[in-house]
Amino acid sequence: MRETRPGFGRVSRQQDKTMLRADVIPKHTDSNGWWHILPKAPPSRALEGAAQARTLVIGAGVCGIAAAFRLGELTPDDEIIVLEAERAGFGASGRNAGFMLNLHSHGPPKELNILRRNMNLWASGLSDLRRRVQEFQLDCQWSEAGRFYGSAGPDGEKHIDEIAKTLDALGLERSWLDRDAMERRTGTRFYNRGLYTPGNALVNPAALMRGCAAHFPINVTLFEETPALTIDRKPRGFTGGFPGGFTGGFPGGFLVKTPKGEVSCERVVLANGVFMGHFGVAKGRYVPMATYASLTAPLADEQLAQFGSAEEFGLLGGSEYGATIRLTQDRRLMVRNYFNHMPNAPMPGARVSGPIAKLHRQAMLARWPDMVDVPFEHSWGGIMAFTGNDGCVFGAVEPGIFAVLTNDVSPMTRGTASGRLLADYMEGVDSKLLDLQLGMAGARRLPPRPFLDIGIAYRRAKLRWAAKQEF
C-alpha cells in the first residue's frame, strides 16, 4: 500500500483520540422525483447485531458504490460491508440532474492541461457506469444524448464561446444552433444560441444508483437505513480474529457502531459525501452547497408538442449559475437551479417545496409560457461538495481510514473513477489513472467561518446577477 497522503482530510482535533463520532446523520427530504417515479424499492436490510468484514465502506452514493464494487472484484475472498444511513442512491447521487459528463459541465474555462488530465477520469467513470448499465440491464433511462448549452444573456454568450473554444482545443465534436434551430429542437426561443456536444449520457440517477447497488459482487453486503455513528479504534493488541493480521489497516482494527449493531473491520472507507466533515475528516476543505430540482408528470401529447422535435434533451446554462433543463425519455420536464450554502445540517423540507419550487416554475414559464397549467409533481434538493481549487479528497487519512470525495466538476463520473481508484490504491494496484488521481491537488483549506460564509454569499450573488437572464 502507498504512503498516507499528506495535506488533506486529517481528522479534526475536536474528535476523540480513540473514536470518530458522526455529529450529523443524513436525513434527506423524501421528495426526490427520480426516486418517486421508480417502482417501490424492495424493503431495506438494516444491520442488527455484530458483523465482521475486512473493509467497511460508509456511504452508498456514487463514490461508495464504485469503491465497494472494485474492492469486491479485487479481493473476492474478503468480506466488504457497505453501511448507508438512508437508502443506496437516496443522497445527492440519486437526486441530481442526471448528466453523466465527459467534461467539466459549465463555468469558466479551466486550464487545458488540467482538463486533458481530468478527461481521463471522467471517461473512465463514464465507461464504468455504461458497462454496469449494459451488464446488469439497468432500467434507468440511460441515453447517449449529449448536451446542449444555451445562452440567453451577455454572461451566457461569453461563456458559451469559451466552451466552444475549449471543445475545439480538446478536439471534441460540437455544433452551433441559432435561435430558430434551438426552437426546432427544444421548442423555446428563450436562447439566443445553443451549442451541442455529444459524449455524455443522461439518466435517471436514482434508478442508476439503486440498480448498481442491487448488483454488488457476492462478497459485498449492503446494510441500508444503518448510519455509522462512531468509528472506534480498537486497542493495538486486539486481532479481532482476522486471519493473516491487518494489512493496510489500523493494528487493532476498528469497531463501527450503528443504532442496532456494530461492525468489526480492518479498514474503513469514508465515502459519505458532504457528511465526511461531520466525522472530522476534510473539515474546512469543502463547502456543502445545496441545489434543487423539480420534475413534472409525463407530458400529454399536446403539451409535448410545445417541445419542438419532442425528443429527449439535456441543456446546461451557458452561465455558471444558469438553469439546467431536461426533457426526459418518459416525457417529463426537469428544471434545476438555485444554490445555497448548507454548512451544518441536512436540508429542511419546507425550503424545497415553497419559494424554490416557485423559482423552477418561473424558469419553466420563461421558456415555455404555454405550460402554465402543467404542475411540477416533485421538487427536491440535495447537497454537493465544492472545493476551492478543484482539489480532491482521496487516499489514506490515517492508517486504516481512507476517504474519497468527488468535487463539483462533473462529480458523478469523476466520483465513479475516484471510488474505483481508491480501491486500487488500497490494494496496491498501480495504473496511470491512479497516478493521475494521486497527482491532483488536495482540496485546499478554506477560510474560516464567518469569512467563508461572506465570501460564498458574495460569489453566489455575483454569479446569480450575471446569469439572471439564464436563471
Ligand X SMILES: Cc1cc2nc3c(=O)[nH]c(=O)nc-3n(C[C@H](O)[C@H](O)[C@H](O)COP(=O)(O)OP(=O)(O)OC[C@H]3O[C@@H](n4cnc5c(N)ncnc54)[C@H](O)[C@@H]3O)c2cc1C
Catalog residues that contact ligand X under the rule CB under 6 A. Answer: 22, 25-26, 58-64, 83-86, 90-93, 95-99, 101, 227-228, 271-273, 275, 291-293, 336, 382, 384, 405-406, 410-412, 415
As a whole number of angstroms, the distance between CA 148 and CA 316 comes to 6
- Give whichever of 223 and 250 is closer to ligand X, judged by the CB atom: 223
In the complex, which residue's CB is closest to ligand X?
A: 61
- Give whichever of 9 and 98 is closer to ligand X, judged by the CB atom: 98
- Give whichever of 129 and 160 is closer to ligand X, judged by the CB atom: 129
- Residue 387 vs residues 38, 256, 266, 287, 406: alpha-carbon distances, Å: 32, 28, 30, 6, 9
What's the length of the chain? 471
As a whole number of angstroms, the distance between CA 49 and CA 74 comes to 27
- Give whichever of 379 and 469 is closer to ligand X, judged by the CB atom: 379
As a whole number of angstroms, the distance between CA 268 and CA 81 comes to 10
Could you tell me the smallest distance in angstroms from the CB atom of residue 86 to ligand X?
5
Could you tell me the smallest distance in angstroms from the CB atom of residue 302 to ligand X?
29
Could you tell me the smallest distance in angstroms from the CB atom of residue 301 to ligand X?
28
Instruction: Kindly give the pairing relationship between strand 254-258 and strand 261-270.
Output: antiparallel
Could you tell me the smallest distance in angstroms from the CB atom of residue 383 to ligand X?
6
- Give whichever of 164 and 228 is closer to ligand X, judged by the CB atom: 228
State the virtual CA torsion across 418, 424, 427, 432 in degrees, nearest 10.
-130
As beta bridge partners, residue 386 has 287
Could you tell me the smallest distance in angstroms from the CB atom of residue 199 to ligand X?
14
Q: Is 147 helix (H, G, I), strand (E, B) or coil?
A: strand
The distance in angstroms from the start CA to the end CA of the chain is 47
State the cell numbers at 359.
423559482
Could you tell me the smallest distance in angstroms from the CB atom of residue 82 to ligand X?
9
- Give whichever of 216 and 292 is closer to ligand X, judged by the CB atom: 292
As a whole number of angstroms, the distance between CA 366 and CA 376 comes to 15
